[in-house]
Amino acid sequence: MEITASLVKELRERSGAGMMECKKALTETQGDVEIAMENLRKSGLAKADKKAGRVAAEGRIALAHEGSKAVIVEINSESDFVAKDDSFIAFTKSVAATALSSGAADIETLKSAKIGGATVEETRAALIAKVGENVQLRRLAKVDSAHHVAGYVHAGRIGVLVELKGGDAELAKGIAMHIAALNPPYIKATDVPAEFVAKEKEIELAKMSDKDKSKPPEILEKIIAGKIAKIVNEVTLTGQAYALNTDQTVDAVLKAANAEVLSFHRLAVGEGIEKVVEDYAAEVMKQAGLA
């Protein structure tokens, strides 16, 4: 059977594989698109297995948001080059949309959800075959609330979801942008662990001069309390100066709007992944027997 350009085009659109791979698959199946599609998937899975152990610390954060529901997903690649590839970007958007529509609560459940006629996992394997790098679905965070929900992604690298009681959508978006920029670990002072506060007190005492330490206990306690209050403000959302108006704290902005942040999620690409740093000069020296 003649392998026409239209057949190759159809298989390319369905599989995402390269033109030559599609033509070869169709030739091997004598033009049977369905079997060729199945073989490409199997080939993609095999390639994906071979690349699974390679470190993927680059990638993108994708957001899907509809009404009071929103989800952000971190999808990793090995290089920034692939992270900017149109096929990779389209995949991340599709995965985020699927996460939202399917209601998947975790990555493993999301992998079995459908994108078109294939599962997310099958589509991921096909993408690996196309881009030649390990691609991993790493994390997702979601919010489904009766209150204001905002989602914000900065440059594809940082994603934030915010659940805001009171206020309005504009304030929720502003708080999301603030969290993206300043990355507070906690919402308010009462969320800060006692162990953290105790450790900071110990550090501040150790930093003080003998002269300060010799002050009356009540004075010393006030000095330490002031230092700890400043540290707590630095690590809490409500204690920080609002990124969109640094003359006010986030707490003041929220109180003025009679609003409260109930929860937030922040994902940054590659955080916590140990990246492999390649020393190409040393590798060349080693292969040349000079090292």
Q: In the chain, what's the furthest Cα-to-Cα distance? A: 96
Q: Are residues 35 and 86 in the same domain?
A: no
On whether residue 136 sits in a domain, the answer given is yes
CA-to-CA distance for 240 and 174, rounded, in angstroms?
14
Task: Verify that 195 and 245 share a domain, yes or no.
Answer: yes
Q: Are 65 and 119 in the same domain?
A: yes
Asked if the structure places residue 163 within a domain, the reply is: no
159 in helix, strand or coil? strand
Residue 134 shares a structural domain with residue 63? yes
Q: What is the pLDDT of the chain when averaged over all its residues? A: 88
- For residue 70, being part of any structural domain is answered with yes
User: What's the confidence (pLDDT) of residue 46?
Assistant: 40
| Positions of the chain with pLDDT under 70 | 15-18, 41-56, 275-291
Q: Is residue 166 part of a domain?
A: no
Residues 118, 78 share a domain = yes
Question: How many domains would you assign to the chain?
Answer: 3
The whole-angstrom separation of Cα 280 and Cα 288 is 12
The CATH number linked to 131 is 3.30.479.20
pLDDT, tens only, 113-169: 999 889 999 999 889 888 888 899 999 999 999 999 999 999 999 999 999 999 999
Residue 23 belongs to some domain of the structure: yes
In this structure, are 221 and 249 located in the same domain? Answer: yes
Q: Residue 288: what pLDDT?
A: 63
Cβ atoms of 165 and 147 within 8 Å: the answer is yes
CB 83, CB 276: distance < 8 Å: no
The partner residues of 161 in beta bridges, in order of sequence, read 151, 265
Length of the chain: 291
Are 71 and 138 members of one domain? yes
Q: Are residues 46 and 72 in the same domain?
A: no
Identify whether the C-beta of residue 229 lies closer than 8 Å to the C-beta of residue 121.
Answer: no
Asked if 64 and 44 sit in the same domain, the reply is no
Instruction: Write the CATH number for 29.
Output: 1.10.8.10
Residue 98 within a domain? yes
What's the first-to-final CA gap in the chain, in angstroms?
Answer: 57
* Domain span including residue 72: 58-144
pLDDT at 42: 67
Note whether residue 94 is domain-resident.
yes
Point out the domain boundary residue: 91, 113, 144: 144
**66 & 43 share domain:** no
Backbone torsion region of residue 132, taken as left when φ is above 0, otherwise alpha when ψ lies between -120 and 50, otherwise beta? left
Query: 63 and 47 share a domain?
Result: no
Within a domain: 263 = no
Q: What is the pLDDT, as a whole number, of residue 48?
A: 45
- The helix (run of H) or strand (run of E) holding residue 7 is helix 5-15
DSSP secondary-structure letter at 197? Answer: H
Looking at the structure, tell me whether residues 128 and 204 fall in a common domain: no
| Tens digit of each residue's pLDDT (9 = 90 or more) over 177-198 | 999 999 999 999 999 999 999 9
